[in-house]
């Protein structure tokens, strides 16, 4: 009874969800169109624009690059981020408060500024190869997600369990892997997924890190969209959406989706 | 011992952030203060240029409009979600999360198809006889704002749904038991308790809009240049890195100032945290 | 201002689960009735139905002759005290207390006066400007009480109001609640799972189980004369012995329990003895004796010292029983004795279905 909502509000919410989902439906429709220009509803169904993706070398290359960068940067961020999150929860009192601020800095600093600064200082001044600069940039981009999500799951962890294991004779490092990690497993999975998706979709950092033969998928998409207005971009978009759906299905099965809303 | 272990574990991440974020960004800011013409010359040039002032002003306008619209739409939608029964709630949250996980290029691209000269909207308007000539909707401020609202509404919905969820049911029941009409409960209990969330959401959307690149690039182009697109142009097209650094500095200062002031305000207004 | 609350034949569902079945309850003006039971017994559901947070499937709720059944919660004019206080965290103590008056359109200065007087009564005048977050549990509870009382509702309802307080404060607060309720003479419904709390504070107590009221009576009657096996167990009757009459001779009935145990009971002492019944008692309803032949044969187990008597764990053909024995004759584990029913401490109940 107290749950009742004014019908006008419900109507508005329906419109909002049409607004949210509609454009994505349109992209899917456009990708399936048989015409060589973008249109909706599709005129004749065909998968030829999906085939076209793999005929364009730039797409083939950037898909591979994007996946590599996403895996590498997420992996590095997990390797350095999990110990950092652990330290900040376990030794909270011993560490200064600005440390946690330091780890959210990558969110605070606009990505464009970070990308540009990395290009200027790392890639150009210290002639670090573009590919490595990209990995560095994406690692910084996803690190805050890793630290925040792992910290959140550690916040509920009772560290005395760890001490119990050590008192029973388990060496500290082994304890970390056998006791701690299994307990924050869902946090690690969530961090991985958030980080991976963030990396694979990034534009603002990657836009500065294109070099001979190196670019990421979103940058290639951007360039292709500006030059050709054909359904290839729509079909790549659909591929990315399928990837997202697959990831969400994994999240749903392992953690439940409301997890992401936290 | 504890201190040592803590620092050891935190140091790799610390090292990466300091070396690859703090120092490079400081270097960028430093270059704007060390030009041959004196420390403030580049800023005087920035604010002296009518075009740049226009870009800055336009960016602020677009971001404010995006924030305001997202706040209203996001809050009302989040309110409906928070009142929905469990099963529907999950579906609605998935519907809101999905666009959020889809890339910014894809989502901006969708609006190219909708708003283009031969786009869906124009076809619809001509098809229904509402107009004879297609409207030029792309490359307008309206197009950028529309796409940005589309980009940020899910973020706002999720932030606010979380905040509204955290308001205990008992408070609303207590309010009703004391004679407050649903409207009075909304205005006197729900809304004040959601203010900190509204501030957080507004900060996220404003800073996101203010520093965005892909959306103004695709839907605004040259005619609706914003801070992000201008900075990219200066850095990568005209290779004027001092100018690009200046724009970067303005973006950093405005973003961080807003985040600091507003989060402090949100914390002060958050009665739940006491 | 106080009114009679009548709940008539209420049935309620959560989804497809039936949570209340044909429940009726009549609470007189100024009376405090507790709903007592384990979680899931329907006590909180009953309260939510009366408050208007839940609609019944069938039945009617009336307060002072006015039908509340279809009235929205905010029009019911009921003072509610919540388990977790439900104070508005963004409003000061005074504004929390004044919230209901504000909804009733009462002018600011009248409101301030009434809030001030109410805070005085609960001893919180010095905290009027604080936010709830800065208060202790007991203070929060007083604010919640003041907030519910200041609107002078014809009905007050308490939902486990003391369960978040520590033991000492819980006892102080329940006295305070009772005094305030008495002083105002407000009809009240009090939901709790704490038997001692319910018995100490209430005029009458409804013991609930699986969406039904098992017995509604004064605490004294409930404690001494439970009406059925469920209530008997609930109020701490450890010995429930099913029995069947095998022979009658005038006032004396020969009854048989499980295991072939036979006893003679006199209806002069025990009241009417039906053909099948349960003999129910606490430990003090069975006396341990090694000097008589008429009783339940038992092998004694662990002996514990209770101050006024010894208590024995007993193994008998009729099952495991608890019995008390005199302090003068402690018996050791393994000894055999007879357990003799003490009429004043025993109750005869209908057999369970």
C140 to each of A37, B177, C143, C184, how far by Cα in Å?
A: 67, 18, 5, 21
d(CA B59, CA B141) in angstroms, rounded, equals: 10
**Nearest 5°: phi and psi at B10?**
-85, -20
C144 to each of B21, C139, C159, C162, how far by Cα in Å?
A: 51, 9, 12, 11
Can you read off the two tokens belonging to residue B273? 């945290």
Cis peptide before C162 (omega within 30 of 0): no
Interhelix angle A232-254/B86-101, nearest 10 degrees: 140
Residue of chain B minimizing CA distance to C92 = B271
Residue of chain A minimizing CA distance to B92 = A17
* C-alpha distance from C74 to closest chain A C-alpha (Å): 9
* C-alpha distance from C137 to closest chain B C-alpha (Å): 14
DSSP string, A89-135: HHTGGGS-THHHHHHHHHHHS-HHHHHHHIIIIIIIIS---HHHHHH
CB contact under 8 A, B177 and C80: yes
Can you read off the two tokens belonging to residue A239? 């591929």
All residues of chain C having their beta carbon less than 8 Å from the beta carbon of residue B184 are 74, 103
CB contact under 8 A, A143 and B16: yes
CB contact under 8 A, B181 and C82: no
Among candidates C79, C90, C134 on the partner chain, residue whose Cβ is nearest the Cβ of B193: C90
pLDDT reported for residue B91: 87
All residues of chain B having their beta carbon less than 8 Å from the beta carbon of residue A39 are 118
Residue of chain C minimizing CA distance to A1 = C53
Among candidates C73, C87, C134 on the partner chain, residue whose Cβ is nearest the Cβ of B177: C73
User: Chain C, 118-157: which have a CB under 8 Å from a chain B CB?
Assistant: 131-134, 147-148, 151
d(CA B256, CA A143) in angstroms, rounded, equals: 19
Which residues of chain B fall short of a pLDDT of 70?
A: 1-2, 270-274
Among candidates A23, A99, A109 on the partner chain, residue whose Cβ is nearest the Cβ of B107: A23
pLDDT reported for residue B5: 82
In sequence order, which ranges of C229-322 are alpha helices (DSSP H)? 229-234, 267-270
Q: Has the ipTM of the complex gone over 0.85? A: yes
User: Chain B, 254-273: which have a CB under 8 Å from a chain C CB?
Assistant: 271-273
Q: Where are the domains of chain B?
A: 47-269
* C-alpha distance from B272 to closest chain C C-alpha (Å): 6
CATH superfamily of A55-260: MetI-like (1.10.3720.10)
Cβ burial A115-136 (10 Å sphere, 16+ → b, else e): bbbbbbbbbeeeebebbebbbb
**Nearest 5°: phi and psi at C338?**
-110, 145
Q: Write the DSSP symbol of residue B189.
A: I
The pairing of beta strand C310-316 with beta strand C296-305: antiparallel
Residue of chain A minimizing CA distance to C53 = A1
C24 close contact with B: CB closer than 8 A: no
For range A192-210, the mean pLDDT:
92
CB contact under 8 A, B175 and C88: yes
Q: Where are the domains of chain A?
A: 55-260
pLDDT reported for residue B55: 96
pLDDT at A232 over 60: yes
Domains of chain C: 5-229 (3.40.50.300), 237-349 (2.40.50.140)
**Tens digit of pLDDT at every position of chain C (353 positions):** 679 999 999 999 988 889 999 999 999 999 999 999 999 899 999 999 999 999 999 999 999 989 999 999 999 999 999 999 999 999 999 999 999 999 999 999 999 999 999 999 999 999 999 999 999 999 999 999 999 999 999 999 999 999 888 888 899 999 999 999 999 899 999 999 999 999 999 999 999 999 999 999 999 999 999 999 999 999 999 999 999 999 999 889 999 998 889 999 998 888 889 999 999 999 999 999 988 888 899 999 999 999 999 999 999 999 999 999 999 889 999 999 999 999 999 999 999 87
Q: What's the mean pLDDT when you consider all of chain A?
A: 86
C-contacting chains (≥3 CB pairs under 8 Å): A, B
Structural contact between residues B211 and B255, judged by C-beta atoms closer than 8 angstroms: yes
Which of these, A260, A5, C52, C55, lies nearest to B82 by C-alpha position?
A5
CB contact under 8 A, B103 and A201: yes
All residues of chain C having their beta carbon less than 8 Å from the beta carbon of residue B192 are 90
pLDDT reported for residue B271: 59
d(CA B235, CA B246) in angstroms, rounded, equals: 11
In sequence order, which ranges of chain A are alpha helices (DSSP H)? 7-31, 48-55, 57-90, 98-108, 111-117, 130-155, 160-167, 172-175, 181-183, 185-201, 217-227, 232-254
Interhelix angle A7-31/A232-254, nearest 10 degrees: 120
**B47-269 has which fold?**
MetI-like fold (1.10.3720)
Q: How many beta-carbon pairs below 8 A join chains A and C?
A: 8
CB contact under 8 A, B113 and A117: no
CB contact under 8 A, B274 and C134: yes
CB contact under 8 A, B179 and C100: yes
All residues of chain C having their beta carbon less than 8 Å from the beta carbon of residue A2 are 53, 73
All residues of chain C having their beta carbon less than 8 Å from the beta carbon of residue B273 are 133
Cβ burial B177-205 (10 Å sphere, 16+ → b, else e): bbbbebebbbebbbeebbbbbbbbbbbbb
Structural contact between residues C29 and C188, judged by C-beta atoms closer than 8 angstroms: no
A-contacting chains (≥3 CB pairs under 8 Å): B, C
* C-alpha distance from B212 to closest chain A C-alpha (Å): 8
pLDDT at A257 over 60: no
């Amino acid at each position: 009874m107290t749950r009742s909502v004014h019908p006008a509000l419900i109507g508005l919410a329906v419109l909002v969800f049409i607004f949210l989902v509609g454009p994505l439906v349109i992209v899917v429709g456009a990708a399936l169109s048989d015409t060589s220009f973008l249109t909706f509803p599709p005129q004749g169904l065909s998968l030829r624009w999906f085939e076209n993706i793999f005929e364009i070398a730039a797409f083939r290359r950037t898909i591979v690059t994007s996946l590599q960068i996403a895996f590498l940067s997420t992996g590095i961020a997990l390797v350095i981020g999990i110990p950092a999150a652990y330290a900040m929860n376990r030794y909270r009192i011993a560490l200064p408060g600005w440390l946690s601020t330091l780890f959210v800095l990558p969110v605070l600093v606009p990505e464009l500024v970070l990308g540009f600064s990395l290009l200027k200082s790392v890639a150009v001044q210290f002639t670090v190869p573009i590919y490595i600069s990209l990995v560095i940039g994406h690692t910084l981009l996803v690190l805050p997600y890793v630290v925040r999500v792992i910290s959140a799951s550690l916040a509920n962890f009772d560290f005395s369990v760890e001490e119990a294991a050590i008192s029973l004779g388990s060496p500290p490092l082994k304890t970390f892997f056998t006791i701690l990690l299994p307990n924050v497993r869902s946090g690690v999975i969530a961090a991985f997924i958030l980080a991976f998706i963030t990396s694979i979709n990034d534009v603002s950092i990657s836009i500065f890190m294109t070099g001979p033969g190196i670019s990421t998928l979103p940058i290639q998409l951007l360039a292709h969209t500006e030059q050709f207005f054909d359904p290839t971009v729509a079909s790549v978009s659909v591929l990315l959406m399928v990837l997202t759906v697959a990831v969400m299905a994994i999240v749903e099965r392992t953690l439940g989706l409301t997890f992401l809303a936290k | 011992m504890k201190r040592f272990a803590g620092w050891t574990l935190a140091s790799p991440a610390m090292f990466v952030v300091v070396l690859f974020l703090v120092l490079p960004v400081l270097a960028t800011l430093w270059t704007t203060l060390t030009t041959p013409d004196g420390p403030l010359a580049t800023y005087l040039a920035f604010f002296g240029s009518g075009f740049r002032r226009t870009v800055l002003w336009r960016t602020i306008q677009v971001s404010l409009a995006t924030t305001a619209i997202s706040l209203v739409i996001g809050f009302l939608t989040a309110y409906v979600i928070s009142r929905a029964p469990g099963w529907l709630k999950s579906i609605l949250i998935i519907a809101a999360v999905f666009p959020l996980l889809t890339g910014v290029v894809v989502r901006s691209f969708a609006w190219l198809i909708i708003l283009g000269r031969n786009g869906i909207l124009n076809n619809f308007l001509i098809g229904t006889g509402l107009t004879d000539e297609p409207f030029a909707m792309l490359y307008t401020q309206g197009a950028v704002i529309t796409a940005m609202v589309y980009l940020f509404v899910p973020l706002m919905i999720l932030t606010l749904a979380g905040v509204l969820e955290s308001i205990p049911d008992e408070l609303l029941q207590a309010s009703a038991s004391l004679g407050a009409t649903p409207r009075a409960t909304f205005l006197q209990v729900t809304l004040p308790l959601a203010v900190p969330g509204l501030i957080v959401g507004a900060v996220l959307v404003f800073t996101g809009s203010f520093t965005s690149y892909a959306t103004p690039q695709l839907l605004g182009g040259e005619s609706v240049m914003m801070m992000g697109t201008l900075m990219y142009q200066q850095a990568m097209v005209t290779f004027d890195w001092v100018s690009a650094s200046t724009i970067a500095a303005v973006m950093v200062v405005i973003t961080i100032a807003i985040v600091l002031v507003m989060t402090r305000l949100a914390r002060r207004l958050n009665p739940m945290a006491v | 201002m106080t009114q009679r609350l009548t709940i008539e034949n209420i049935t309620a569902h959560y989804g497809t689960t039936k949570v209340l079945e044909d429940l009726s309850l009549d609470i007189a003006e100024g009376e405090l009735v507790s709903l007592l039971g384990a979680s899931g017994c329907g006590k909180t559901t009953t309260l939510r139905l009366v408050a208007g947070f839940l609609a019944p499937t069938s039945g009617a709720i009336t307060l002072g002759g006015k039908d509340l059944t279809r009235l929205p919660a905010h029009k019911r004019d009921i003072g509610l005290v919540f388990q977790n206080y439900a104070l508005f965290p963004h409003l000061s103590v005074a504004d929390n207390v004044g919230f209901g008056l504000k909804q009733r359109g009462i002018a600011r200065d009248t409101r301030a006066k009434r809030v001030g007087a109410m805070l005085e009564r609960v001893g919180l005048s010095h905290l009027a400007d604080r936010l709830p977050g800065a208060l202790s549990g007991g203070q929060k509870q007083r604010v919640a009480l003041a907030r519910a009382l200041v609107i002078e509702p014809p009905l007050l309802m308490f939902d486990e109001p003391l369960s978040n307080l520590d033991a000492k404060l819980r006892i102080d607060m329940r006295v305070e609640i009772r005094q305030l309720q008495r002083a105002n003479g407000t009809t009240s419904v009090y939901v709790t799972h704490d038997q001692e709390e319910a018995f100490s504070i209430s005029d009458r107590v409804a013991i609930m189980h699986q969406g039904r009221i098992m017995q509604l009576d004064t605490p004294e009657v409930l404690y001494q004369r439970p009406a059925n096996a469920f209530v008997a167990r609930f109020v701490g009757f450890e010995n429930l012995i099913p029995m069947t009459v095998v022979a009658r001779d005038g006032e004396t009935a020969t009854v048989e329990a499980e295991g072939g145990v036979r006893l003679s009971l006199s209806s002069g002492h025990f009241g009417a003895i039906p053909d099948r019944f349960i003999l129910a008692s606490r430990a003090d309803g069975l006396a341990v004796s090694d000097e008589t032949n008429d009783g339940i044969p038992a092998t004694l187990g662990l002996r514990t010292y209770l101050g006024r008597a010894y208590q024995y764990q007993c193994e008998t053909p009729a099952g495991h029983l608890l019995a008390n024995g005199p302090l003068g004759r402690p018996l050791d584990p393994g000894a055999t004795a007879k357990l003799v029913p003490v009429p004043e401490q025993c109750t005869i109940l209908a057999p369970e279905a």
